[in-house]
């Protein structure tokens, strides 16, 4: 009789433990947490979240040094790293990490004049990609929409507008003036500058390369089990 009771108590204890574990696995997060944090850092302690953000900030700083100049085109991986930052740590932490990465990157290796709109642009890239991957769509549809928004809002909107306003004050380079004279009859307006920068200066090609690398990198990141990157 005593053995039967002992087995029943053991089963009950085991059942309670299993239920507790099951409850832990099925922990529900608030809408705010699910919206602003990625699956990678969701449920992590504040210290671990800051650590993840620190790693991504370091990668953003490094991306400022990885630039390749080919003819008139300056290739960099800033777009790729900024968008991955938003995807991996979420829109808020990603936005902060990308902005800090650009600002600290300039302080570490100052070149010319600091242009704050570039920091705002990369922060928006992380913010956009971080939010877009939350949509209930196919992962590649979400990436395509992210790339389109980043191109329009960040590359064309923020970056090109900031550059145009700046060079309108300090003067355009001889190279850019040559584009105006050769292709636009000497007309110096925002739209002619945007076309020259995106087409002749190769910013569209640079963006396309970064977007292609983003699509290629997602399957590799999903294969890293410790990340627990679920973008479906």
Segment 88-117, tens digit of pLDDT: 999 999 999 999 999 998 888 777 788 999
Look at 229 and 55; give whichever has higher pLDDT.
55
Q: What is the third-level CATH fold of 31-227?
A: Arp2/3 complex 21 kDa subunit ARPC3 (1.10.1760)
Is residue 71's pLDDT more than 70?
Answer: no
- Over residues 185-206, the mean pLDDT reads 92
Which pLDDT band holds residue 31 (cuts at 50, 70, 90)?
A: confident
pLDDT tens-digit readout, 161-181: 999 999 999 999 999 999 999
Q: Give the model's pLDDT for residue 229.
A: 80
CA–CA separation, 57 and 85 (whole Å):
8
Which pLDDT band holds residue 157 (cuts at 50, 70, 90)?
A: very high
Which percentage of the chain shows pLDDT scores above 90?
A: 59
Q: How many CB atoms lie within 10 A of CB 130?
A: 27
Is residue 201's pLDDT more than 60?
Answer: yes
- Over residues 25-37, the mean pLDDT reads 75
């Amino acid at each position: 009789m005593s053995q039967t009771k002992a087995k029943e108590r053991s089963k009950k204890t085991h059942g309670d433990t299993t239920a507790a574990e099951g409850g832990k696995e099925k922990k529900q997060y608030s809408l705010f947490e699910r919206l602003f944090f990625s699956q990678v850092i969701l449920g992590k302690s504040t210290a671990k979240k800051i650590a993840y953000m620190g790693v991504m900030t370091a990668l953003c700083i490094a991306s400022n040094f990885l630039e390749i100049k080919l003819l008139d085109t300056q290739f960099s991986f800033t777009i790729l790293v900024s968008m991955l930052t938003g995807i991996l740590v979420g829109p808020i932490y990603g936005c902060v990490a990308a902005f800090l990465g650009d600002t600290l990157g300039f302080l570490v290796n100052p070149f010319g004049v600091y242009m704050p709109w570039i920091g705002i642009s990369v922060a928006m890239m992380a913010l956009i990609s971080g939010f877009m991957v939350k949509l209930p769509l196919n992962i590649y549809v979400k990436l395509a929409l992210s790339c389109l928004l980043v191109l329009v809002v960040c590359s064309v909107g923020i970056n090109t507008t900031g550059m145009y306003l700046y060079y309108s004050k300090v003067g355009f380079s001889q190279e850019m003036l040559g584009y105006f004279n050769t292709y636009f009859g000497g007309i110096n307006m925002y739209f002619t500058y945007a076309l020259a920068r995106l087409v002749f200066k190769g910013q569209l090609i640079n963006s396309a390369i970064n977007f292609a690398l983003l699509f290629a990198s997602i399957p590799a990141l999903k294969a890293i089990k410790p990340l627990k990157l679920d973008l479906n």
